[in-house]
Structure 1
Amino acid sequence: MVQQETNSPTTSHATVGVERLWGRIVLGIVFGIVIVAGLMVLSDLRRVLPALRHFDWSLFPLVLLLTAGNYACRFVKWELYLRWVGAPRLRRSQSLAVFLSGFAMSITPGKVGEWIKAFLVARLGGGPVAPVVPVVAVERLTDGIAMLILALVAGFGGLGGWQPLVVLAGMVLAGLWLVQEERVARPFLRLAARAPLLRSRAEALNGLYDATRAILRWRRLVATSGLSIFSWSLECLGLFVILIGVGAEPSVELLAVATFVLSVSSIAGALSLLPGGLGAAEAGITGLLLLLRPGMTPAEAATATVLIRFGTLWFGVLSGCAALLWLQRKVLRFLPLQPRQGAVVAQLLDSSER
């Protein structure tokens, strides 16, 4: 029976769709290698390599441990979101694998791969895809809110540069209010449902809104944003540790700089819509370190940038690739496919190529 379903057009469509993600991931990795190589050349390779050799490598496992702590907190948030939208209950190992796979898919062009997490939850749990879609979006939203708050705290602490962040925070709050205010949102949904492309999907559109509103209730938003603030502060601590390893003296000011630099650079990377924020985040970290740490050399700034990206982004990509490979080889190919689920992956990937 499983063999027959595996050979069906729908199942083949899904298998090909998931396998096509690997090409996108490889493309993102190549892009990342180019970015790192360019950064090292611009910062004078002859000085960056000695800086890497002189780094206190005994501190790097601590950076990875802090990143793993960030992932653990975000997995708790992921589980809460799935419960709140009524998603199918998954085995903990499968849910963790789907969550981790998102780190690999975050470097896919257009970040289309991250939306495949909704498909994976539906495929593993045997339910519809639509209710899980808001989870992926709200995950990113609360991460962004956390980074914004961390940047504001560091900025208000004397580093400056907080004015644009306050404007951005106001825009975020206005958007959240619009989502929560049904009297405002429902008329917009009815108007959108009249559009030719959305007319047949009005019910799904309302379902997406209901699920989004359910997980963005103010109490839930405050709780998950607080968890996100704690989890992302761990990665800011990771940059703090790296700066110490590069040769900086530990201080409260250094911690504030690390928090501001990583938070603002992460926001810039997210707003750039580039896969994994590649290029934008690296430029932001290096530039802000040189601006806020006048005594730091370009080689030291580039070294810190390369190390924090390897200790966060690329550590996540490696973990995500292992999780996605496990799902593909050990779980997905043995599951029956429900109608229309198979086309979801290919539709998302096809739309990203246009």
Structure 2
Amino acid sequence: MTPAMNGAHPYRSTLIVLAIFLGCGVLAFATASGEDIWHQITLLSLTQIGILLALSLVNYTFRALRWFLYGRALGLDLGVLQVLRHYLGGFALTMTPGRLGELVRVRWINRETGASVERTAPLVLVDRAADLASSGLLLAAAMLVMAGGISGGIPVAIIAILAAIVATRPTLFRWCVTMLFKLIGRKPRLFARARRAAQSLKPFSQPAIALPAFALGFLGWFAEGYAFYLLLDWMGASLPVWTCVGIFVFAMMTGGATGLPGGVGGAEAAMLALLSLQGVPLEIALPATAIIRITTLWFAIGLGVLIFPIAETAAARRPHALENR
């Protein structure tokens, strides 16, 4: 681990993250007709841009509150503002491979609370599972309401929901791991670790935790889908709200399935294709896709870049917690 990541030079880490952020942003604009995008942005009022950013902030905040619930389920002594700092700061590393943003959140918790890695590691898995469950059900709801649906939407929603159920039910997770090991018959240590991870998910499966956590994720992702609906309406491409929500969620899940940081590339391609199928002309679909990604993905990264050094500094003040790692 580098000295910066150890807390000695938090601002150096931030500068690296900022360079990645700016480089990817320039590349995105260069490959997506930047002049048309900026022209469309100038047609939006400051109030409209503020509404889009506010709805994205609703998503980030609700998901951070879900992280707070999960931390309480593990018995971690974390305050709401502390969790917001961790969750938003982790967005700074969204464009790095290996989901480092999620790992750095756990690292900050370990340093500030003294909890061991084994105790806090399940937070990453259950947070991903909760996103799968909420976005999967949100997509399924959109499919039920939409007249034509989205090609492939129902299978994607079903797979996401099933994966989330398995990942959040310890007994079912262990059974699947056991069956998979019997099928493959290799890597016994890897499967043993997977079974231990399944057992560590038990605190999150209680209804008092699972239900509000699911509701927070569902409402959070709906807020960004609704922002997409408003944006298209302002740009003159009026589509039903659930159609916009379905397109947005499906595109996010498609981007996530590519494994690329932030789903860059896959999410945009899926969104453009689905808007085209809905009859939205390219001169609207292209800037709308870019603007919604700027006000969701890149806005999150921008917030993360601002908060990252604050989180690093706060964590560096409690190095004694490393003794338990």
The TM-score normalised by the length of structure 1 is: 0.77
1:60-90: CA deviations, max 9, x gaps?
111111112222221221110001122x313
Choose from 138, 149, 152 the match for 1:164.
152
Choose from 293, 297, 316 the match for 1:313.
297
Report the alpha carbon displacement of residue 94 of structure 1 after superposing the two structures with TM: 2.5
Which amino acid is 2:170 matched to? Q
Q: Secondary structure at the match of 1:107?
A: coil
Say whether residues 1:180 and 2:170 are aligned partners.
yes
Report the alpha carbon displacement of residue 137 of structure 1 after superposing the two structures with TM: 2.2
Contact 2:55 2:223 in 1 (8 A): yes
Say whether residues 1:268 and 2:268 are aligned partners.
no
Say whether residues 1:328 and 2:320 are aligned partners.
no
- Alpha-carbon distance in structure 2 between the residues aligned to 1:70 and 1:10: 32
Report the alpha carbon displacement of residue 32 of structure 1 after superposing the two structures with TM: 3.9
Q: Which residue of 2 aligns with 1:209?
A: 198
Q: Which residue of 1 aligns with 2:130?
A: 142
Which amino acid is 2:296 matched to? T
Contact 2:59 2:223 in 1 (8 A): yes
- Alpha-carbon distance in structure 1 between the residues aligned to 2:222 and 2:300: 16
- Alpha-carbon distance in structure 2 between the residues aligned to 1:76 and 1:136: 14
Say whether residues 1:277 and 2:274 are aligned partners.
no
Which amino acid is 2:281 matched to? T
1:90-109 correspondence to structure 2 within 5 Å: 90-109=78-97
- Alpha-carbon distance in structure 2 between the residues aligned to 1:210 and 1:321: 35
- Alpha-carbon distance in structure 2 between the residues aligned to 1:150 and 1:33: 32
Q: 1:112 to 1:91 in 2, by over 3 A?
A: same
Q: How many pairs are equivalent?
A: 320
Q: 1:328 to 1:174 in 2, by over 3 A?
A: closer
- Alpha-carbon distance in structure 1 between the residues aligned to 2:22 and 2:122: 27
The TM-score normalised by the length of structure 2 is: 0.83
Q: Which residue of 2 aligns with 1:303?
A: 287
Q: Which residue of 1 aligns with 2:66?
A: 77
Which amino acid is 1:181 matched to? T
- Alpha-carbon distance in structure 2 between the residues aligned to 1:162 and 1:247: 22
1:18-97 correspondence to structure 2 within 5 Å: 23=16, 26-27=19-20, 29-40=22-33, 45=35, 47-86=36-75, 88-97=76-85
Q: Secondary structure at the match of 2:201?
A: helix
Which amino acid is 2:57 matched to? A
Q: 1:16 to 1:216 in 2, by over 3 A?
A: farther
Q: Which residue of 2 aligns with 1:14?
A: 6
Which amino acid is 1:98 matched to? H
Report the alpha carbon displacement of residue 248 of structure 1 after superposing the two structures with TM: 3.2
- Alpha-carbon distance in structure 2 between the residues aligned to 1:24 and 1:282: 22
- Alpha-carbon distance in structure 1 between the residues aligned to 2:195 and 2:9: 27
- Alpha-carbon distance in structure 1 between the residues aligned to 2:285 and 2:44: 12
- Alpha-carbon distance in structure 1 between the residues aligned to 2:243 and 2:317: 49
Q: Secondary structure at the match of 1:39?
A: coil
**Which deviates the most, 301-310 or 48-57?**
48-57
- Alpha-carbon distance in structure 2 between the residues aligned to 1:236 and 1:205: 34
Q: 1:287 to 1:10 in 2, by over 3 A?
A: closer
Say whether residues 1:245 and 2:238 are aligned partners.
no
- Alpha-carbon distance in structure 2 between the residues aligned to 1:12 and 1:229: 36
Which amino acid is 1:184 matched to? W
Which amino acid is 2:175 matched to? V
Point out where structure 1 has 5 or more consecutive residues left out of the alignment.
1-8, 343-354
1:238-270: CA deviations, max 9, x gaps?
111211221234xxx431221011100110111
- Alpha-carbon distance in structure 2 between the residues aligned to 1:223 and 1:26: 37
Which amino acid is 1:145 matched to? A
Choose from 99, 119, 131 the match for 1:111.
99
